């Protein structure tokens, strides 16, 4: 289950997200990634208009394929978008040819619906053809848009295939939807860390909590398997991210530079911080973390306040 789904299921309110973009931008893949299943409940479709509605408990995702301009008959799509809490505008970051059209559509759409909360998403970040955040910002003129509309607007890149950036999106939703106070530092509690070298399939783990209980030991076993599967599934990708849960723990898996690292943290810990720590350790893993002792030393030295005690 994605942590977004878990998060939303914890609140009583209904949450709806409108996901808009050209055909093939990656909307359906994003929906699958959020719902984490292929057989979602698609309760109603307006296929002729390119509108699709996916409902899961109190979460509604509405996708809309724009063709090449906003339809002149405003009634249905406009009502659908105005009814949503958040608007995602998806731009295929590998599709340079349609960037200008995307800019025109985005600006026209914003002028039409004036959303309070807008997130522009560059999809397919895993692809080698994916263009940079800076180029997206420039071409879509996001800074100008932000000034002009005064809506809460941001731009991120993500990949529905590798999970990269998905947790930045969730963090953004948490802040915008639930108005969570922004904490400067959100320490996590790293109970254990498992690394996997893809070339050799060597697994290494360290326990960082002084009093490991059975539940942690079984979680580590589980993670060793999980890391191996994750590494296999993501073999063709340079980077990948995934978050899962086991027993009372949250597991953050990050792949980079031929290594997979899994951090076992507490269930309510901040995922973005755990991902950042995992990435930082991955920068060092080859040089300093070749034995469990050196891995433990590196984590404890770099993140003394994040190690569970």
Ligand X SMILES: Nc1nc2c(ncn2[C@@H]2O[C@H](COP(=O)(O)OP(=O)(O)O)[C@@H](O)[C@H]2O)c(=O)[nH]1
Positions touching ligand X (CB under 6 A) are 21, 23-29, 65, 123-124, 126-127, 159-161
**Strand order from edge to edge, sheet including 15-22:** 44-46, 51-56, 59-66, 15-22, 86-92, 117-123, 152-157
Which of Mg ion, ligand X, none does residue 21 bind (CB under 5 to 8 Å by kind)? ligand X
User: Binding to Mg ion by residue 28, rule CB under 5 A?
Assistant: yes
Q: Nearer to ligand X by C-beta: 8 or 160?
A: 160
Q: Which of 233, 272, 278, 228 is nearest to 257 (CA)?
A: 278
Rounded to a whole number of angstroms, the minimum distance from the CB of residue 44 to ligand X is: 17
Q: Which of 21, 44, 19 is nearest to 32 (CA)?
A: 19
Residue closer to ligand X by CB (options 28, 266) is: 28
84 versus 220: smaller Cβ distance to ligand X? 84
Q: Which does 247 bind (CB under 5 to 8 A by kind): Mg ion, ligand X, none?
A: none
How many residues does this entry show for the chain?
Answer: 309
Minimum CB distance to Mg ion, residue 94 (Å) = 16
User: Which residue, 126, 116, 4, 124, is CA-closest to 61?
Assistant: 4
Q: Binding of Mg ion at residue 24 (CB under 5 A)?
A: no
Q: Which is nearer to ligand X, 89 or 172 (CB)?
A: 89
The distance between the two most distant Cα atoms of the chain, rounded to a whole number of Å, is: 66
- Give me the least distance between CB of 247 and ligand X, in Å please: 30
| Binding partner at 165 among ligand X, Mg ion, none, C-beta below 5 to 8 Å by kind | none
Is 294 one of the binding residues for Mg ion (CB under 5 A)?
A: no
In the complex, the residues that contact Mg ion under the rule CB under 5 A are 27-28
């Amino acid at each position: 289950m994605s942590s977004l789904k878990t998060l939303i299921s914890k609140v009583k309110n209904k949450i709806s997200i409108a996901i808009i973009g050209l055909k093939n931008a990656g909307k359906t893949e994003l929906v699958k990634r959020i719902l984490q299943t292929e057989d979602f409940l698609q309760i109603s479709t307006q296929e002729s208009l390119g509108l699709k509605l996916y409902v899961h408990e109190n979460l509604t995702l509405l996708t809309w394929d724009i063709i090449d301009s906003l339809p002149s008959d405003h009634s249905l799509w406009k009502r659908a978008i105005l009814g949503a809490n958040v608007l995602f505008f998806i731009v295929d970051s590998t599709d340079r040819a349609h960037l200008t059209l995307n800019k025109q559509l985005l600006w026209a759409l914003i002028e039409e619906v004036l959303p309070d909360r807008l997130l522009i998403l560059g999809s397919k970040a895993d692809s080698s053809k994916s263009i940079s955040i800076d180029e997206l910002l420039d071409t879509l003129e996001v800074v100008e848009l932000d000034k002009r509309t005064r809506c809460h607007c941001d731009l991120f890149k993500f990949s529905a295939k590798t999970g990269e950036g998905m947790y930045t999106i969730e963090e953004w939703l948490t802040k915008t939807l639930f108005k969570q106070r922004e904490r400067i530092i959100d320490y996590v509690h790293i109970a254990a860390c498992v690394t996997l070298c893809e070339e050799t399939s060597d697994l290494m783990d360290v326990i960082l909590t002084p009093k490991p209980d059975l539940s942690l030991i079984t979680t580590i076993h589980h993670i060793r398997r999980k890391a191996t599967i994750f590494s296999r599934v993501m073999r063709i990708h340079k980077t990948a991210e995934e978050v899962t849960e086991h027993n009372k723990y949250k597991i953050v898996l990050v792949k980079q530079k031929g290594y997979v690292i899994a951090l076992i943290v507490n269930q309510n810990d901040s995922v973005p911080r755990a991902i950042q720590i995992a990435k930082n350790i991955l920068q060092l893993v080859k040089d300093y973390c070749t034995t469990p002792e050196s891995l433990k030393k590196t984590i404890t030295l770099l993140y003394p306040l994040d190690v569970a005690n």
